[in-house]
Amino acid sequence: MILEPEYNDTELQSKAKQEIIKNLPVKTQQQVYDELRNDVIEEVVVAIESMTGFGQDTISSFAIYIREMKK
């Protein structure tokens, strides 16, 4: 049986991807949730920091308070 070169390339790429996936760290559901939560909190802080209705000290205080909510 003679394999086509394209098949060999595809199989090699598949094996390489499987090896990469096998070496990735496994995260628990809680770790994934915490990362997503922290990303959302940081997005809120960035939005608050762009507000102009308050003084810079007040904005900074809000940002610190909200960032402390991260897990």
Reported as type and span, the H/E element at residue 36 is: helix 29-49
pLDDT at 60: 95
CA distances from residue 12 to 2, 7, 57, 70 in whole angstroms, order as listed: 16, 9, 57, 42
pTM score, whole prediction: 0.65
Encode pLDDT of 24-54 as tens digits: 888 999 999 999 999 999 999 999 999 998 9
Q: Check whether 2 has a pLDDT greater than 70.
A: no
